[in-house]
């Protein structure tokens, strides 16, 4: 039997090597660095929880954590509401619905780098910039979008919702497709209109789907980096700085690897807690 076990490990070897090198080793390093002052050539010095104290006491980190939470919450709620509205509008098997769904879904498969380049052009803050021209057509005044500390975070959030809502839409449509149609008939027989049917039949049946969508969206929101890095890089005036952009600057630009790792670990902790909580809630539901 040992020969068969040996062959199993052989089949697993490529995956084990890659996961060890590029997932587990970096993870172990991140944990270890978060307790150390990293000094190239001099050797690292154990500093216990100092890095964590530095991070938690740092105003910049706290404000970045605040922005991260606002962004994650806003994008989660926004994507779910917009995704749900899209799902209800575009649910069905008709061919024209399928075409509209495909068109609406395109932002989700577009690379973030393209999305960011495109939206920076759309958000161009001149009065005749693309978005200002469209909004001007319906009587809304020109905005500064990414260029003003008051609107930058909301503008980033809107892009996140634009890209996230179609994804949520598809999951909701799959959920709606799984609702037992005889329940709709029963509700209709009881004289319930479409809105009551939605509230009392479709939504309760979709509770697990809501749980999944919320979890996925919240985790997606916490780790946000690329869209901030490309849209605003934390500016203007730090108004869109999030945890990961701050960690990136600390680690790769200022070489404070220990403090940066502590920041990453705190974010990871938040992600894990959120995931586990969501799993528990799903099990109870």
Partner 1 sequence: MKQLDTALGLGAVRGPLGRILKFGLYVLVVFVFAGPLLALLVSAFGRVTDPTKLSLIPHDLTLDNFRTAFDQGVLRYLANSLIVVGGGLLLQITVSVTAAYALARKNFPGVRLILFLILSTMMLPEEILAIPLSLVLADVPVVHVNLVGTLAGMIVPVGAWAFAILVMTEFMRDVPIELEEAARLDGAGDLRIFWSVILPVCRPALGVLGIFGFTMIWDQYILPLLVAQDAHQFTLALALRSLRADEQVGTGVLIASALLALLPSVVVFLALQRQFMRGLTSGAIKG
Report 223-242 residues binding partner 1 (CB under 8 A).
223, 225-226, 229-230
Query: Which member of 72, 156, 157, 216 binds partner 1 (CB under 8 A)?
Result: 216
- DSSP summary character for residue 41: T
Please report how close the Cβ of residue 13 comes to partner 1 at its closest, in angstroms. 8
Phi, psi of 146 (to 5 degrees): -65, -15
CB-wise, 15 or 42, nearer to partner 1?
A: 15
Alpha-carbon gap, residue 169 to 84, rounded angstroms: 6
- Confirm or reject binding of residue 135 to partner 1 (CB under 8 A): no
Identify the CA nearest to 90 among candidates 102, 78, 79, 76: 102
Most distant pair of Cα atoms in the chain: their distance = 78
Interaction mask 18-57, partner 1, x per CB under 8 A: xx-xxxxxxx-xx--x------------------------
The helix or strand, by DSSP H or E, that contains position 65, with its residue range, turns out to be: helix 59-90
Residue 192 touching partner 1 (CB under 8 A): no
Closer residue to partner 1 (CB): 70 or 170: 170
Q: Which stretch binds partner 1 (CB under 8 A): 49-57, 67-75, 148-156, 170-178?
A: 170-178
- Per the CB < 8 A criterion, the answer to whether 219 and 267 are in contact is no
Among 50, 91, 136, 147, binds partner 1 (CB under 8 A): 91
Place of tokens 């938690």: 56
What is the C-alpha separation between 154 and 216, in angstroms, rounded? 21
State the minimum distance, in angstroms, from the CB of residue 251 to partner 1: 4
Residue 65 is a binding residue for partner 1 (CB under 8 A): no
Residue span binding partner 1 (CB under 8 A) among the ranges 58-66, 68-76, 99-107, 144-152: 99-107
Among 47, 64, 116, 146, binds partner 1 (CB under 8 A): 116
Q: Does 148 bind partner 1 (CB under 8 A)?
A: no
Q: Which stretch binds partner 1 (CB under 8 A): 58-66, 68-76, 89-97, 136-144?
A: 89-97
Helices marked H in 143-255: 152-177, 181-189, 194-197, 203-205, 207-222, 226-231, 243-248
Q: What is d(CA 198, CA 162) in angstroms, rounded to the nearest whole number?
A: 25
Candidates 212, 235, 236, 238: give the one binding partner 1 (CB under 8 A).
212
Contact call for residue 138 and partner 1 (CB under 8 A): no
d(CA 89, CA 102): 14
Phi–psi pair at 37, nearest 5 degrees: -90, 115
């Amino acid at each position: 039997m040992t020969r068969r076990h040996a062959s199993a490990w052989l089949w697993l070897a490529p995956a084990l090597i890659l996961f060890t090198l590029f997932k587990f080793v970096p993870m172990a390093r991140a944990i270890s660095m978060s307790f150390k002052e990293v000094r190239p050539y001099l050797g690292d010095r154990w500093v216990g929880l100092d890095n964590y104290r530095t991070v938690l006491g740092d105003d910049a980190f706290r404000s970045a954590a605040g922005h991260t939470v606002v962004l994650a919450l806003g994008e989660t709620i926004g994507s779910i509401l917009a995704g749900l509205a899209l799902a209800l509008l575009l649910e069905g098997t008709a061919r024209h619905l399928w075409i509209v769904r495909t068109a609406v879904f395109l932002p989700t498969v577009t690379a973030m780098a393209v999305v960011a380049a495109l939206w920076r052009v759309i958000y161009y803050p001149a009065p005749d910039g693309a978005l200002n021209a469209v909004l001007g057509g319906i009587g809304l005044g020109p905005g500064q979008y990414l260029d003003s500390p008051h609107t930058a975070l909301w503008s980033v959030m809107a892009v996140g919702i634009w890209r996230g809502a179609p994804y949520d839409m598809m999951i909701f449509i799959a959920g709606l497709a799984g609702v037992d149609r005889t329940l709709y008939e029963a509700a209709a027989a009881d004289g319930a209109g479409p809105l009551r049917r939605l509230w009392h039949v479709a939504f309760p049946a979709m509770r697990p789907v809501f749980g999944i969508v919320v979890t996925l969206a919240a985790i997606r929101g916490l780790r946000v980096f690329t869209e901030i890095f490309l849209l605003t890089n934390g500016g203007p005036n730090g108004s869109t700085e999030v945890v990961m952009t701050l960690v990136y600057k600390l680690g790769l630009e200022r070489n404070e690897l220990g403090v940066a790792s502590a920041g990453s670990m705190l974010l990871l902790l938040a992600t894990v807690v959120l995931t586990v909580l969501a799993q528990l809630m799903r099990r109870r539901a």
